Amino acid sequence: MRDGETLTHFGDRNVPLEDKQALVDDVFHRVARRYDLMNDLMSGGLHRAWKADMVTVIDPPRGATPFRHLDVAGGTGDIAFRVVGAGGPGVRVTVADINTEMLEVGRERAYERGLDDVVSFIEGNAEALPFPDRAYDAYSIAFGIRNVPRIEAALAEAYRVLRPGGRFVCLEFSAIDVPGLDSLYELYATNVIPALGRAVAGDAEPYRYLVESIRRFPRPAAFAAMISAAGFRRVSHRVMSGGIVALHSGWRL
C-alpha cells in the first residue's frame, strides 16, 4: 500500500481505489459476449420481469414527444431496446458504458434490430459522464452501480445530466428478507453461479466477483439515503422477489 492510498473492496480482497475500475473492466471484458445469457441462467429469467418493471417506472412517452434517455452501464443495449420499444417515435436513448467490448455487443444488436438510428453507444465513465448539464429526461442504471468505485460521484453525475423534472431509476441487487430463502440464495450464489460461469462463459472468477459485489452493496435504505444526499427528491425504493433486487427512484426537482 502506498502512502495516503485509499483501499476498497474487490471481491473478497482489498485493492487501491484507483485500481478497482481496471479490475472491474477486466471482469466485463471476459464475459461480454455471454453476459445476457448468464443473466437469464443466473436469475432463472427473472431479470426480464425486473427490467420490465424498471421500464414501466421510466415510462417513456408513447407519442411523438421528444424524450432523451440515458442508460449507464448498459453496454449490451438490453435496457435501451426496452425503453425504445415501450415509447413512441420521439424517444432517443444514449447508452454510456466504460467497457468497449460490451458497447460493441450493443452496437451489433442495435444494427440487427434496425435501432441504430435511435440508440447511440458512447464510451464513458459513470463517475465523469461526457455529456452536458441537464441533457436528459431520464437516467437508468441496471445492475451497474455496485461496480462503480465511487458511487457518490456517479450519483452526482446522474443528478448533473438530468434536466429539472428528470427521473433517476436504478435496479440493483439487494438483501433477501424472507427467512429460509436467504440461506438458500446464499448457497446458490456461492456454489451455483460460479459453476454456471465456468460452464457457459468458460470462466468462474468474474462470477465470484459479481456475487461478492452483491454482498457488499449498501442495503436499500442506506442506498436510498445516498440518492437523497446527491440532491434527488421524492426518493423511493421497492424490493422485489423476496428482496433479491430493489428498484430505486428519485427526481431532480
CATH number of the domain enclosing 205: 3.40.50.150
pTM score: 0.84
* pLDDT on residue 185: 76
Q: Say if 61 falls within a structural domain.
A: yes
* pLDDT on residue 176: 79
Q: Say if 89 falls within a structural domain.
A: yes
pLDDT tens, position by position, 36-82: 776 776 777 888 999 999 999 999 999 999 999 999 999 999 999 99
What letter does residue 169 receive in the DSSP assignment? E
* pLDDT on residue 4: 47
What confidence category does residue 96 fall into, taking pLDDT thresholds of 50, 70 and 90? very high
Could you tell me which residue, 31 or 148, shows the higher pLDDT?
148
Q: Say if 182 falls within a structural domain.
A: yes
Could you tell me which residue, 10 or 112, shows the higher pLDDT?
112
Q: Say if 3 falls within a structural domain.
A: no
Q: Say if 232 falls within a structural domain.
A: yes
SS3 (DSSP) at 1: coil
In sequence order, what E strands does 83-161 have? 91-97, 119-123, 136-142
Could you tell me which residue, 96 or 179, shows the higher pLDDT?
96
Amino acid at 156: A
* pLDDT on residue 17: 52
pLDDT tens, position by position, 193-206: 778 778 766 777 77
Number of domains into which the chain is organized: 1
Q: Say if 242 falls within a structural domain.
A: yes
Q: Which of 96, 102, 109 is nearest to 28 (CA)?
A: 102
SS3 (DSSP) at 65: coil
* pLDDT on residue 210: 76
Q: Say if 153 falls within a structural domain.
A: yes
How far apart are alpha carbons 117 and 127 in whole angstroms? 27
Please enumerate in sequence order all residues whose Cβ is within 8 A of that of 47, keeping only pairs 6 or more positions apart, or say none.
Answer: 39, 40, 143
Domain that holds residue 183: 20-251
Torsion sign (Cα): 110, 113, 114, 117: negative
Please enumerate in sequence order all residues whose Cβ is within 8 A of that of 49, keeping only pairs 6 or more positions apart, or say none.
Answer: none
Q: Say if 183 falls within a structural domain.
A: yes
How far apart are alpha carbons 76 and 240 in whole angstroms? 23
Average per-residue pLDDT for the chain: 86
Summarize the confidence of residues 27-31 as an average pLDDT: 61
* pLDDT on residue 7: 44
Contact 169, 236 (CB under 8 A): no
* pLDDT on residue 73: 94
* pLDDT on residue 1: 44
